[in-house]
Amino acid sequence: MSDTPNPIQLQKFLGGIDYPAGKDELVKKAEESGADENVLNALRNLPDKKFEGPTGVSEAVAGG
Question: For residue 2, is it within any domain?
Answer: no
pLDDT given at position 55: 95
Q: What is the pLDDT of residue 46?
A: 97
pLDDT digits (tens, 9 = 90+) for 18-64: 999 999 999 999 999 999 999 999 999 999 999 999 999 999 999 86
pLDDT attached to residue 2 = 54
pLDDT at 1: 44
* C-alpha neighbours within 13 Å on the C-beta side of residue 19: 11
What single-letter amino acid sits at 15? G
In a domain, 47, yes or no: yes
37: containing domain: 7-61
**2 vs 5, higher pLDDT:** 5
The answer to the question of residue 23 being in a domain is yes
Say if 35 falls within a structural domain: yes
Greatest CA separation for the chain: 29
Total domains present in the chain: 1
Task: Give the Cα-Cα-Cα angle 31, 35, 36 (nearest 5 degrees).
Answer: 120
The C-alpha atoms of residue 15 and residue 3 are separated, in whole angstroms, by: 21
Asked if the structure places residue 32 within a domain, the reply is yes
Q: What is the predicted pLDDT for the residue at 58?
A: 95
Cβ–Cβ under 8 Å, residues 13 and 34: yes
Does 14 fall in a domain? yes
